[in-house]
């Protein structure tokens, strides 16, 4: 068993069952869990002027630079670490990233990127995984789990809204975050970001918390 697989198994065990009867989201959970489409989404613009300058100055991929900050921000908002598994609510200690990686032939594959508090280690492991995805034709990653956030980058479109393909027969409670084309106006670089979350686990308030944290991380 590889280090990645061992680490994946260890991290995947780090979840706690939520006592729904004593949870302040009990009624929200029971209400929205019955919906055919329980996901809601918003699209916002973030200022990435400082982040882009810093990434380029350090010779770091801008994609990985903002992806790390989005993943860090998501981990800092507890509701982004909630998941529904077999009709039970769980809180994970850490969530990782499952981003789409674009290939030269116009296709893409899903990657599995572990979150590390050490930013340099995240980049090191992420670059290895990205090269693995680009060198294959596989769509799905070798490992994944419920404790991921589905990320996608659509750098060709400065979108104002987005929807996602979903199988309603497949249980899914993972948040979905998409990044669009960066544009510049009067020296200010902006990028659209779409956030979709399961309403049984989070509300607009929690999405607002994430956006604020993400913007602060982009600025620092």
Pick the CATH number of 3-219 from 3.20.20.70, 3.40.50.1370, 3.30.559.10, 3.10.20.30: 3.30.559.10
pLDDT above 90 (res 3): no
Spatial distance between the Cα atoms of 38 and 172, rounded to a whole number of angstroms? 10
Indicate the pLDDT class of residue 120, thresholds 50, 70 and 90.
Answer: very high
Mean of pLDDT values over 48-59: 98
Do 46 and 123 touch, CB atoms closer than 8 A? no
Indicate the pLDDT class of residue 1, thresholds 50, 70 and 90.
Answer: very low
pLDDT in tens, 23-46: 999 999 999 999 999 999 999 999
pLDDT at 145: 81
pLDDT at 135: 93
pLDDT in tens, 133-175: 999 999 987 677 889 999 999 999 999 999 999 888 888 999 9
pLDDT at 168: 82
pLDDT at 112: 96
Q: Degrees (nearest 5) of the Cα angle 102, 106, 111?
A: 25
pLDDT in tens, 55-85: 999 999 999 999 999 999 999 999 999 999 9
């Amino acid at each position: 068993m590889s280090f990645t697989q061992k680490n994946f198994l260890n991290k995947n065990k780090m979840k706690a069952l939520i006592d729904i009867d004593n949870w302040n989201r009990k009624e929200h959970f029971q209400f929205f869990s019955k919906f055919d489409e329980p996901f809601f989404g918003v699209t916002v613009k973030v200022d990435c002027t400082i982040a882009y300058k810093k990434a380029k100055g350090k010779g770091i991929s801008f994609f990985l630079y903002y992806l790390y900050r989005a993943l860090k921000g998501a981990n800092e908002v507890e509701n982004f670490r909630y998941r529904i598994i077999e009709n039970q609510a769980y809180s994970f200690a850490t969530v990782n990233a499952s981003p789409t990686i674009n290939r030269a032939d116009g296709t893409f594959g899903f990657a599995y990127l572990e979150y590390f508090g050490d930013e340099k280690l995240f980049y090191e492991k992420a670059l290895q995984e990205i090269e693995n995805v680009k060198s294959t034709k596989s769509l799905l990653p070798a490992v994944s789990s419920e404790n991921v956030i589905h990320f996608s980058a659509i750098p060709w479109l400065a979108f104002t809204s987005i929807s996602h393909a979903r199988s309603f027969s497949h249980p899914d409670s993972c948040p979905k975050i998409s990044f669009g084309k960066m544009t510049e106006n009067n020296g200010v670089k902006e990028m659209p970001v779409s956030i979709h979350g399961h309403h049984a686990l989070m509300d607009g308030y929690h999405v607002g918390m994430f956006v604020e944290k993400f913007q602060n991380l982009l600025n620092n």
